[in-house]
Amino acid sequence: MRYLEQVWSVFESLGFLFDLKIVGAAAFAAYSFLFGVDGTAAMLALIALMVIDLITGTLAAAVPGGPGISSRRAAKTPLKFAVYLMLISSANLADSAIFEGLYIQKTMIAFLALTELISILENSGKLGFGIPKKLLKQLQIYRGGK
């Protein structure tokens, strides 16, 4: 009988891990429903591009004669991140609703990554680094800009 009490006490002490596993499983289920599991590497690359854009944008704003750093402009990054997540999630749900093989989500991620890359190149130009103008123009054409 004493042995069963000891085993039960071990299970009771691990109870918080069970709750943590349930929360983790629910979070993964929500993530895989909203974003799918195919584009995880692409989403991580997009997040890395957003961080690089934030860094280069902050550096470009700090350059003498630049626009300066303001809290309003810095607060746009979390909002941009939230909007990007909603766009990617919506594209994934549209992919699921229509049929497989349309690649709406991958196209959305590619468009957003291209937008971030253009912003990084522009920020690098503001920092005084030489950027290939033809490359920037071609990327803007791909994005749909002039």
In order along its 146 residues, the chain shows pLDDT tens digits of: 677 777 777 766 666 666 777 788 888 888 888 888 777 888 899 999 999 998 998 888 887 776 666 667 677 888 999 999 999 999 989 988 887 778 888 889 999 999 999 889 888 888 888 888 888 788 777 777 55
Instruction: Tell me how crowded residue 56 is: count the other CB atoms within 10 A of its CB.
Output: 20
Show the domain range for 80.
37-143
Contact between residue 45 and residue 57 where contact means Cβ atoms under 8 Å apart: no
> Are 62 and 91 contained in the same domain?
yes
Domain count for the chain, please give it. Answer: 2
Do 18 and 74 lie in a common domain? Answer: no
Location of structure tokens 């626009």? 67
The verdict on 68 and 139 lying in the same domain is yes
Contacts of residue 96, defined as CB under 8 A and 6 or more positions apart, other chains included, come to 36
Q: State the pTM of this model.
A: 0.73
For residue 98, what are its two tokens? 């229509």
Q: Do residues 106 and 90 both lie within one domain?
A: yes
Q: Does residue 22 sit in the same domain as residue 71?
A: no
**pLDDT (0 to 100) of residue 68:** 67
Backbone angles phi, psi at 144, to 5 degrees: 110, 5
The predicted pLDDT at position 77 comes to 83
Query: Would you say 120 and 54 are in contact if contact means Cβ atoms under 8 Å apart?
Result: no
